[in-house]
Amino acid sequence: MIINSTQVSYFILSAYFDTGMLKYLYFTIILCLYVLIILSNVFLIVLICVNRSLHEPMYLFLCSLFVNQLYGSTGLFPFILLQILKDVHTVSFSLCVLQIYCLYSYVQVEIINLTVMSYDRYLSICFPLQYHTRMTQNKIAVLIAVVWVYPLLTVAVRRYLTVSLQLCGNIIDKIYCNNYSIVKLSCSDTTDNNIYGLINAFIFICVPAMLILYSYMRILKVCFSGSKQTRHKAVSTCTPHLASLINFTLGCCFEIVQSRFNMNHVPNMLRIFLSVYFVILQPVFNPMVYGMKMSKIRVKCNHLLCGKRHLDSES
């Protein structure tokens, strides 16, 4: 029997399995990760906001990246923490749709933000003397607006198409809500969803990939023909961005493989880890790599922490 999506009041998340008393251990681990993500990302956001010397385009884009990681992790971690402690793993239809919106918009904002950061590095390294005339305050504002507004609008359209589907069931083989899993439950025509999904994939995967590739090809060309100082600047500023980009790409690939292919032969814990890699590892990884590799952030962190200890010892 065909069930209209508006009549489905809840979904069953079938990927959870009985862990007995170990659920409290898993709850503690996930909670510690979430607290670490909150503290590290908030710390760097505050650090960038209160230090005028960090009010440069690169750090403003970084701040946008850290805000997005707080947004994405908050869309997943509290939900998983609650599900770990529950005996019946269900989620209401409205909450499921909201979670899909949060996670998909998080992914798309992250992709565009990383693309804008690669463009910023391209201008900084390839046009150092013209950098501040090309990367103006108005341009920064427009780029950050595009990073956030465009994904939020496109994901809203996708959510509308998904909510409009007629469903044949309510069992999702995931530990969180996933758009593709709901589309698979549909008994109605999904042509519009598929076409929009392909267009969206081209806009948010192919176009950013081409722009990032072009930026780094130009950066490498300048590095090979430039001075030692230019090469050092490129390495110090591009290494964290490349590391973040590779880490996020791996996470998204793991999620796509999880959603599109049968992974029943893979152990449950490994499947669960791979399916949440893109939300768990990126918000933990980025503050660490940028905090250690970006010299200005490292200096400000040392000054803040060491300065505070110095004042405490004097008092």
- H/E/C letters for each residue in the chain? CCEEHHHCCEEEECCCCCCCCHHHHHHHHHHHHHHHHHHHHHHHHHHHHHCHHHCCHHHHHHHHHHHHHHHHHHCCHHHHHHHHHCCCCEEEHHHHHHHHHHHHHHHHHHHHHHHHHHHHHHHHHHCCCCHHHHCCHHHHHHHHHHHHHHHHHHHHHHHHHHHCCEECCCEECCCCCCHHHHHHCECCCCHHHHHHHHHHHHHHHHHHHHHHHHHHHHHHHHHHHCCHHHHHHHHHHHHHHHHHHHHHHHHHHHHHHHHHCCCCCCCHHHHHHHHHHHHHHHHHHHHHHHHHHCHHHHHHHHHHHHHHHHHHHHC
- Could you give the percent of the chain with pLDDT greater than 90? 42
* Between residues 296 and 312, the one the model is more confident about: 296
- What is the pLDDT, as a whole number, of residue 3? 43
> Is 298 inside a domain boundary?
yes
pLDDT at 228: 77
pLDDT at residue 77 above 90?
A: yes
Q: Which pLDDT belongs to residue 293?
A: 67
- Asked, for residue 252, whether it belongs to a domain, the answer is yes
Q: Which range, 99-103, 168-172, 287-291, 299-303, has the best average confidence (pLDDT)?
A: 99-103
The 10s digit of each residue's pLDDT in 220-230 is 888 888 777 77
User: Domain containing 92 — which CATH number?
Assistant: 1.20.1070.10
User: 1 is written with which tokens?
Assistant: 């029997």
- Strands 10-13 and 171-172, sheet pairing: parallel
Report the Cα 46 to chain-centroid distance in Å: 20
Min mean pLDDT across 133-137, 280-284, 295-299 is at 295-299
Within a domain: residue 40?
yes
Region 268-283: what's the mean pLDDT? 86
- Whether 1 maps to a domain, the answer reads no
Band (315; pLDDT cuts 50, 70, 90): very low
Sole residue written with tokens 């599900």: 83
> pLDDT at position 1, please?
38
Q: For residue 269, is it within any domain?
A: yes
Q: Report residue 68's pLDDT band, with 50, 70 and 90 as the boundaries.
A: very high
Q: Which residues contact 223 (CB under 8 A, 6 or more apart)?
A: 125, 230, 231, 234
Assigned domain for 304 exists:
yes
| Within a domain: 3 | no
Instruction: Tell me: pLDDT of 205 over 50.
Output: yes
* Predicted pLDDT of residue 120: 94
Q: What is the number of domains present in the chain?
A: 1
Taking each helix axis as running N to C, give the angle between helix 22-50 and helix 57-74, from 0 to 180 degrees, rounded to the nearest 10.
Answer: 150
What average pLDDT does the chain have?
A: 86
pLDDT digits (tens, 9 = 90+) for 283-298: 999 988 887 766 677 7
More confident call, 290 vs 62: 62
pLDDT per residue as tens digits for the range 154-163? 999 988 888 8
- Per-residue pLDDT, averaged over 198-211, amounts to 89
Q: What is the span of the domain harbouring residue 67?
A: 9-314
Q: Tell me if 80 is assigned to some domain.
A: yes
Average pLDDT over residues 207-215: 93
* pLDDT (tens digit per residue) in 38-61: 999 999 999 889 888 888 999 999
